[in-house]
Amino acid sequence: MNKTLKITLTAVFTALCVVTNIFTIPLNPSATQVFSFVYFLCFVAGIYLGPISGACVGFLGDFIGHLIHPLGAYNPLIGLSCMLLGVIPALMWKLKWKNWVKLALSFVICLVICTAFLNCLGIYLFINSSKGFFAFMLGRMAFQAPVALGNLVLIYIVVASKFVDKLLLKANANFSKEN
């Protein structure tokens, strides 16, 4: 893929991730439970554009989204988590396994490292919880795991349909013609 096209697509995915972060739906007053499609955009950016672009989309989408629509003080652990949501699938995609295996492995790793550990730790450190960390994490994961699973279903549909593959092939061909 041409560098200019890759930068352009990274910017588009970042903008979409910003919008997704702005429209994250807090489900309780402290915003410890949210509904978001950030997994979807970070995974797709990482899979199709690589780990650096995936990291940029995740981190910048979170940071700029926070600047536009903050749900409290900026939390760098959440930013790191979003960055890893783009990096982990990109690295898994380099493996010579079936796509569904790479996607499932990426999902499990991201669910454990990003959602269960980094996000929960970041939120736990920012709030004044009377619960211990593991009790807080288990309570939060009871809802966040199904949200992440919903994102996984959307990602699988996009990857299996080859829609983005076809779109990128066409964009690359059109870009090559113009230059």
pLDDT tens readout for residues 36-78? 888 889 999 999 999 999 999 999 999 999 999 887 789 999 9
Give domain status of residue 95, yes or no. Answer: yes
Taking only Cα atoms into account, the Rg of the chain, rounded to an integer number of angstroms, comes to 17
Q: Is the pLDDT of residue 4 over 90?
A: no
Give domain status of residue 178, yes or no. Answer: no
Give domain status of residue 98, yes or no. Answer: yes
Give domain status of residue 149, yes or no. Answer: yes
Domain total in the chain:
1
* Summary mean pLDDT of the chain: 88
The pTM is what? 0.85
Q: Which residues of 146-179 are buried (b: 16+ CB within 10 A; e: fewer)?
A: ebbeebbeebbebbeeeeeeeebeeeeeeeeeee
Q: What digits encode the pLDDT tens for the residues 116-134?
A: 999 989 988 888 777 898 8
pLDDT confidence of residue 60: 97
Give domain status of residue 41, yes or no. Answer: yes
pLDDT confidence of residue 100: 92
Give domain status of residue 54, yes or no. Answer: yes
Give domain status of residue 179, yes or no. Answer: no
Q: What digits encode the pLDDT tens for the residues 130-161?
A: 789 888 889 888 888 888 888 889 889 988 88
Write the CATH number for 156.
1.10.1760.20
DSSP secondary structure, 119-166, as one string = IHHHHHHHS--SS-HHHHHHHHHHHHHHHHHHHHHHHHHHHHHTHHHH
pLDDT confidence of residue 11: 96
Give domain status of residue 82, yes or no. Answer: yes
Single-letter residue type at 161? S
For residue 152, give its domain range. Answer: 3-173
Q: Is the pLDDT of residue 174 over 80?
A: no
Q: Which residues have a Cβ under 8 Å from the Cβ of 57 and sit 6 or more positions away?
A: 10, 13, 14, 17, 41, 42, 45, 46, 49, 86
